[in-house]
């Protein structure tokens, strides 16, 4: 396997999301025309939420996902028992 020169520590999750997603527009009110088209407050809230999400995932790299340091299995199992 050829080395790409990019280590998993150098690739943040925002980069992955931006490359993999066809569009990052949270709301497209033009096609098809949607019911919230005139509700600019909601549209702005959704765009702001997306910006916060992307800013948040940018703090993590592929190395964070590849390492077994964090497991979601324990919190999920606790919820089932409660």
pLDDT in tens, 54-82: 999 999 999 888 866 555 565 556 666 55
Q: What CA–CA distance (Å, rounded) separates 57 from 78?
A: 25
Domain ranges of the chain: 9-81
- Residue entry with tokens 């066809």: 22
Taking the model in full, what pTM does it have?
A: 0.63
* pLDDT at res. 1: 43
- Residue entry with tokens 């600019």: 40
Q: What CA–CA distance (Å, rounded) separates 12 from 22?
A: 18
């Amino acid at each position: 396997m050829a080395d790409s020169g990019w280590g998993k520590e150098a690739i943040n999750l925002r980069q992955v999301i931006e490359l993999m997603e066809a569009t990052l527009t949270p709301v497209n009110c033009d096609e098809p025309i949607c019911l919230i088209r005139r509700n600019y407050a909601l549209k702005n809230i959704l765009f702001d939420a997306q910006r916060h999400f992307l800013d948040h995932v940018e703090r993590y790299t592929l190395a964070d996902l590849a390492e077994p340091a964090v497991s979601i299995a324990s919190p999920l199992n606790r919820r089932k028992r409660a």
